[in-house]
A and B are shown apart, each in its own frame.
Chain A
Amino acid sequence: MTRSRLLDALVRLPPWLWLSAFFLVPFAITLKISLSEAATAMPPYLPVLDWKGGLEGWSTFLEALHFQNYETLAGDALYRDAALSSLAFAGTATAILAGVGTALAYAMARAPSRWQPLLVALVVVPFWTSFLIRVYAWIAILKPEGLLNAALLRLGLIPAPLEILNTQGAVLIGLVYAYLPFMVLPLYAVMSRLDPTLREAAADLGAGPTRVFWTVTLPLSAAGLRAGALLCFIPMCGEFIIPDLLGGSDTLMLGRVLWSEFFSNRDWPLASAVAVVLLVLVVGPIVLFRGDARKAGAEAAR
C-alpha cells in the first residue's frame, strides 16, 4: 500500500512542480508587479523585493506597493473601452460560432458514418496549421483590392470596393474563422454520440424534423455547446493576433492593449494590471462551467 502511494506521488510530482513553477508562480508575480510602479531600470519596475533585507525589507517592499495601475485602468476610458469591447467581440463571435458551429457539427453528425472520420479530419487540419498564417490569409481576401472585393465587383454586386479590412467586421470574421474548429469539435463529439433511437422515438411520437432538432437534439447537445463556448470565449478575450492584423488602429482589445503597454510603452506594471483584469474577466466563465472545461479540452484535442 505505502509503496503504491509512494509511486502515485512520484508520478504526479514532476508535473506538479513544473506547472507550479511555470504557471502558478508566474501569476503570483504578475499580481505583485501589477501593484508596482514603472521605472527606467532593468527590471523596469519598482519596488524590487530585497531578499536579504529580512523583515524590514519586506515591510518597505509592502509599503511601496500601491493600486495606482488599477486606478489608471479604471480612470482611463481607453482601458475601460478595451475591456468592454474585448467582451463584446468575444461574446458576439461566440454567439455567431454557436450558430455556425451547431449547423456544421449537426451536418457532420448526420453525414453517412463512413464519411465522418474524414469530415472530422478536415475540421481538425486547420486547427493544426499555423494560426498566424490562417489569419494572415484573410488580409489578401478582405483588403480593398483583395479577392472578396474583386469577386463582388466582377459580379456587379457592389459599385465600389468595400472597406472590410481594418474594421470590426474583419475582426469578427477572423475570430469566427480561427475558432470554428474549437466550437465544432466538442459539439460534434456530443452530437455524434447521441442515441439515434432518441430521434426516432421523437419522430414516432409525432415530432417533425424541426421539432426533433429543437426538443431533442439541441437540448441533449447543450454540454457540447457550453464546452465549445468556453473554449472559444476565453482565449478570444485575450486575442492579440486577430485584432492586430485584421482590425483597424481603433480596434481595442485587452490582448492588444497589454501587448502595446508591454512592447511599445515598456510599462510592465500596467501590462501586468491588464493581465490581472483579463484573468478576472475570463476566470468567471471558467468557474461557471468548471465541469465542462476539462471535457471541452478533451473533445477538442481528440
Chain B
Amino acid sequence: MSALTRTALGLGLAFLYAPILVLVAYSFNASALVTVWGGFSTRWYATLIADGPLIAAAWTSLKVALASAAIATGLGTLAALALERHGRFAGRGLFTGLVYAPMVMPEVITGLSLLLLFVGIGLDRGLFAIVVAHATFGTGFVAVIVAARLRGLDRSLEEAAADLGAAPARVFASVTLPLIAPSVAAGFLLAFTLSLDDLVIASFVAGPGATTLPMRLYSQVRLGVNPEINAASTLLLATAGVLVLTATWLTGRRTVA
C-alpha cells in the first residue's frame, strides 16, 4: 500500500471518527466543562438513568422503531420482489420512484406533507402518526437492500424449484425467502436505526402528545453541550455499533448461491 493511500485512509477515517471519539471520551469526564478533563467518572450515566422524561422518550422511540421497522420490512420486501421478480407492469417507473424517492427526499418535506395529510384526514398526531411516517421512508431502504440481494441471486434456483413442481407460493417460501432472509433482517435493522435516529419527521408529525428520544435530545442540545447528552449519545452509538455489526454479519454471510 502506497504512502499516499495510507495517508488518505488515515485522514479520512480520523475525520469520520474524531468527533465520535471526543463525544465518548467526554461522557466519562467528571468535569461539566467540555475542555477541562476532570478525571474519569460515570456520574453522567447516573444522571441519565435518573432523567425520567429522557427514559420515557427512549421507550417511545423504541416502540416506534420496532413497529415502523416491522411494517417497513414487510412493505419493502414486497416492493423489492415486485421490482426484481414480478416482471414489467404498467406504472413501473412511478412505482420505482415511489419506493426510492423517500430515501433522498429532504426530511422537512416528508415531515410537513405527512402532517398535512394527517390533519386533513383528521388522524390524531402522536405515536401512531410517527410509526406511519417512519414506515414510509424505511420501506425504500429495506427495498434497496433486499433488491440488491435478489439481483445477486441465481434465478435458476427458483426456476428449478418451479420445474420440480413447486407452486409460486412454495417457491417463495422454500427457496426465495430462505435465500434473502439475511438481507431482510439487515433491512429491518436499518429501518429500525433510521427510525431511532429521526428527528425532523417525528417533530412534524408527533404533535404535543409524543416525544421521541431525538426530539428530547434536540431540545437539550439546542441549549449547548451537556455531559448528560454525551452519555446518552455514547449509549446510542454503542447500540448502533452492535446493530451495524449484526447487519454486516447478516449480509456478509455466505448462503448457498
Q: Within the complex, what minimum Cβ distance (angstroms) separates B95 from chain A? A: 7
Is A255 engaged at the interface, CB distance under 8 Å to the other chain? yes
Is B1 engaged at the interface, CB distance under 8 Å to the other chain? yes
Is B99 engaged at the interface, CB distance under 8 Å to the other chain? yes
The interface residues of chain A lying within 8 Å CB-to-CB of B95 are: 12, 15-16
The interface residues of chain A lying within 8 Å CB-to-CB of B141 are: 301
Q: Which of B6, B12, B19 contacts A103 (CB 8 A)?
A: B12
For chain A residues 106-143, which have a beta carbon within 8 Å of chain B?
Answer: 106-108, 110-112, 117, 119, 121-126, 128-134, 136-141, 143
Is A62 engaged at the interface, CB distance under 8 Å to the other chain? no
Contact yes or no, B240 A104, CB < 8 A: no
Please, how many angstroms separate the alpha-carbon atoms of A117 and B254 in the complex? Answer: 14
Please, how many angstroms separate the alpha-carbon atoms of A300 and B100 in the complex? Answer: 12
Contact yes or no, A133 B23, CB < 8 A: yes
Size bracket of the A interface: 35 or more
Is A94 engaged at the interface, CB distance under 8 Å to the other chain? no
Contact yes or no, A150 B74, CB < 8 A: no
The interface residues of chain B lying within 8 Å CB-to-CB of A172 are: none
Q: Within the complex, what minimum Cβ distance (angstroms) separates A199 from chain B? A: 13
In the complex, residue of chain A having the shortest beta-carbon distance to the beta carbon of B102: A23
Given contacts A108-B9, A119-B9, A272-B112, contact A293 B197 (CB under 8 A): no
Contact yes or no, A15 B12, CB < 8 A: no
Is A26 engaged at the interface, CB distance under 8 Å to the other chain? yes
Given contacts A12-B82, A138-B19, contact A146 B75 (CB under 8 A): no
Contact yes or no, A25 B117, CB < 8 A: yes
Please, how many angstroms separate the alpha-carbon atoms of A4 and B233 in the complex? Answer: 49
The interface residues of chain A lying within 8 Å CB-to-CB of B23 are: 133, 136-137, 140
Q: Which of B12, B98, B233 contacts A107 (CB 8 A)?
A: B12
Contact yes or no, A141 B113, CB < 8 A: no
The interface residues of chain A lying within 8 Å CB-to-CB of B54 are: none
The interface residues of chain A lying within 8 Å CB-to-CB of B1 are: 110-112
Please, how many angstroms separate the alpha-carbon atoms of A268 and B74 in the complex? Answer: 33
Q: Within the complex, what minimum Cβ distance (angstroms) separates A182 from chain B? A: 9
For chain A residues 274-302, which have a beta carbon within 8 Å of chain B?
Answer: 275, 278-279, 282, 286, 293-294, 297-298, 300-302
Contact yes or no, A122 B16, CB < 8 A: yes
Contact yes or no, B197 A130, CB < 8 A: yes
Please, how many angstroms separate the alpha-carbon atoms of A9 and B86 in the complex? Answer: 9
Please, how many angstroms separate the alpha-carbon atoms of A141 and B20 in the complex? Answer: 11
Please, how many angstroms separate the alpha-carbon atoms of A153 and B236 in the complex? Answer: 32
Can you give 29 contacting A-B residue pairs, CB < 8 Å? A7-B168, A8-B86, A12-B79, A15-B143, A19-B139, A20-B98, A24-B98, A29-B120, A30-B116, A103-B8, A103-B12, A107-B12, A130-B237, A132-B197, A132-B214, A136-B221, A150-B35, A180-B15, A234-B104, A238-B105, A239-B106, A241-B218, A258-B112, A259-B108, A259-B200, A272-B116, A278-B108, A297-B144, A301-B145
- Which 10 residue pairs are nearest across A and B when measured between Cβ atoms? A238-B106, A26-B113, A12-B82, A107-B8, A137-B19, A104-B12, A8-B86, A15-B79, A26-B117, A133-B233
